[in-house]
Amino acid sequence: MTGHDPQRSRLVDVELDDTIGRSTPDVEHERAVAIFDLIEENSFRPINDTGEGPYRLKLSLVEARLVFAIARESGEDVVTHILSLTPFRRIVKDYYMICESYYDAIRNSTPSQIEAIDMGRRGLHNDGSQTLMDRLAGKIDVDFGTARRLFTLICVLHWRG
């Protein structure tokens, strides 16, 4: 992202719509942490927005699609983008499988085995983050770190506990 004020090209609030549904206390905690991390550090600007941020993001699910409703900090609507979650299904499924392996390895494996699994886990997370950046291209300008935090949130939205 170039040419924009970093204090204005960012999210200051992320809300999960009731369509997301609620889950176990552990899942709700992970969602809260993912949202906190995203708000704490991000670079986010809708493409072709002639106004100024910072922005609020409301996420909802409609027919297996993730809806990004973006508003200004004042609440004024900016734009809504809808992303199919289909391109993320395999990555999220694989990511959960390797996370399970990682947690099992922490209890039963050598440090080198844990490190190898963790490298794979991070690699899958990077793949998902890049897929998200690609899907947002031309819609929302985000840096890789923000895409990583958004992908974490997408994963947590899928996690049932």
**Which tens digits make up the pLDDT trace of 74-112?**
999 999 999 998 998 899 899 888 888 888 898 999 999
pLDDT at 1 over 70: no
- Supply the mean pLDDT for the chain: 88
Number of domains in the chain: 1
Alpha-carbon span 64 to 84, nearest angstrom: 7
Is 1 a member of any domain? Answer: no
In a domain, 108, yes or no: yes
- Residue 76 in domain: yes
- What per-residue confidence (pLDDT) applies to 3? 54
**How far is CA 115 from each of CA 14, 101, 107, 109, 149, rounded to the nearest angstrom?**
32, 12, 13, 10, 22
Angstrom CA distances, 69 to 24, 31, 60, 76, stand at 25, 18, 8, 11
Domain extent for 65: 11-158
What average pLDDT does this structure show over 11-38?
85
Residue 129 banded pLDDT, cuts 50, 70, 90:
very high
Phi, psi for residue 8 in degrees, rounded to 5: -105, -25
| Beta-strand pair 55-62/11-16 | parallel
Q: What is the pLDDT of residue 134?
A: 96
Residue 5 lies in a domain: no
Model confidence band, residue 23 (pLDDT cutoffs 50, 70, 90): confident
